[in-house]
Amino acid sequence: MNNETMNNETMKLWEMETTVVSLSAQSAIYLFDMDAVLLHPGGYRVALMATVNFFSREMGLGECAPTLHEIEVFESVGITSEWDSAPMCIAALMLNGKRVDYAELARRVSAETKSGECPAEAAYRVFFQTSEVYEDLLLHSRDIHRSRVLQVFQQFTLGDHYESTYGLKRTFENGHGSLLLKHDRKAITSPVPERSAIYTARPSKPPRDVPMQIGYAPEAELGAELVGLSHLPLIGFGRLQLLAEKVGGQGEHYIKPSPVHALAAIGAAFGFPESESLLMAASGCLRAEAWARGELNTRFESLRGVRVTVFEDSATSIQGVRQAVNLIGGQCVGIGISSGGPKLERLEKISDRVYPSIDAALQGEIDE
């Protein structure tokens, strides 16, 4: 995002004077990732496997879905959205005509992904610039009207919610309803502290202070309801989609590990309206040099010196939160959540501490 894409609404927000609420350096804010932190994300994994098998069977290759280990490798290297991993797997099958080593594909694409670039876009640039078929698969992986892979994945994910979400007819019956509702399981039983927010890459509705619109899948809201935290502020992909409509760019370029996502969640946890937090976050990242000199937006001045604890299963997302917290002169504590597997090694290198579960992390980190 550059100055040309920042519209008048955002610049006015940067300039406006507001009452500053005092926040001491000892105050704390808590950010919670959703999948593999607040809940066990069985639904997305099953939907990814079902989607890859749907297309591999169409190709006459039989069932070629990634294994759970390979899915964990995608997640461990920062490819956390199935809107990237599903088309990447299917493009690799089309190119090779057989099942491939998805873990190696994930590592190579992750290593080549540039700042502000989606993994699917990086995969196209590095491996698949040979046909318009791959262009539709990988460069339009988030466009429900152009990506057949996304249509299939969302039908597995949403079930009966698909038609009302997108205004599109279902193209097949999966026989299982929403795989999220069927396979996701609650992972948290402990209470969360005050000034907490959910910070997730899941598709979501627009901000709560904005009317509902077509095309916004309520997957983050379904997860929040499952774990009993619907009352918390929530910054998901839908919020970032709406931000992109207001200030320019694409929603996927503002999602974690972008500091825009983290800053918006920090503001929402503190108590700012979600839509206002999003605009402030976008203006802050545009003016990062000014913020580094201490010239904070008046509202974010309230947060100077804050201590932000983030509970995450992604090392790259923890790094994004650290970048955001540095912009507001705060302190970031990165808490990794992993009981083992490919994620654990990466989290141990990046996190301040790693726990096997969110309940163990809350017990270890939150003062009674």
How many separate helices (H) and strands (E) can be counted in the chain?
19, 8
Asked if residue 322 has pLDDT above 80, the reply is yes
Q: What is the dihedral of CA 280, 282, 287, 293, to 10 degrees?
A: 50
Q: Which amino acid is at 68?
A: L
Asked if residue 188 has pLDDT above 80, the reply is yes
> What are 28-40's pLDDT values in tens digits?
999 999 999 999 9
Quick one: DSSP state of residue 79? -
Judge contact between 244 and 279, C-beta under 8 A. no
pTM reported for the whole predicted model = 0.83
Average confidence (pLDDT) over 56-84: 95
Q: Which amino acid is at 141?
A: S
> What are 174-183's pLDDT values in tens digits?
777 899 999 9
Asked if residue 160 has pLDDT above 80, the reply is yes
Asked if residue 21 has pLDDT above 50, the reply is no
Judge contact between 222 and 229, C-beta under 8 A. no
Q: Quote the crossing angle between the two packed helices 82-96 and 148-158, to the nearest 10°.
A: 130
Give percent of the chain above pLDDT 70: 88
Max intra-chain CA distance, the chain: 64
> What are 216-229's pLDDT values in tens digits?
999 999 999 999 99
Q: How far is CA 56 from CA 64, 73, 93, 109, 215, in A?
A: 6, 21, 7, 21, 27
Whole-number Å distance between alpha carbons of 260 and 79:
18
Q: Which amino acid is at 151?
A: Q
> What are 73-107's pLDDT values in tens digits?
999 898 989 999 999 999 999 999 999 999 999 99
Judge contact between 326 and 318, C-beta under 8 A. no
| Phi, psi angle pair for 202, to nearest 5° | -60, 145
Distance between alpha carbon 190 and the CA centroid of its chain, in Å? 23
Whole-number Å distance between alpha carbons of 126 and 109:
8
Residue 292: predicted pLDDT = 53
Whole-number Å distance between alpha carbons of 357 and 359:
5
> What are 262-277's pLDDT values in tens digits?
999 999 999 999 999 9
Residue 5: predicted pLDDT = 45
Residue 285: predicted pLDDT = 67
For residue 295, count CB atoms less than 10 angstroms from its CB and return exposed for 0-12, middle for 13-18, buried for 19 or more: exposed
Q: Domains in the chain, start-ordered, CATH in brackets?
A: 3-38+185-365 (3.40.50.1000), 42-182 (no CATH)
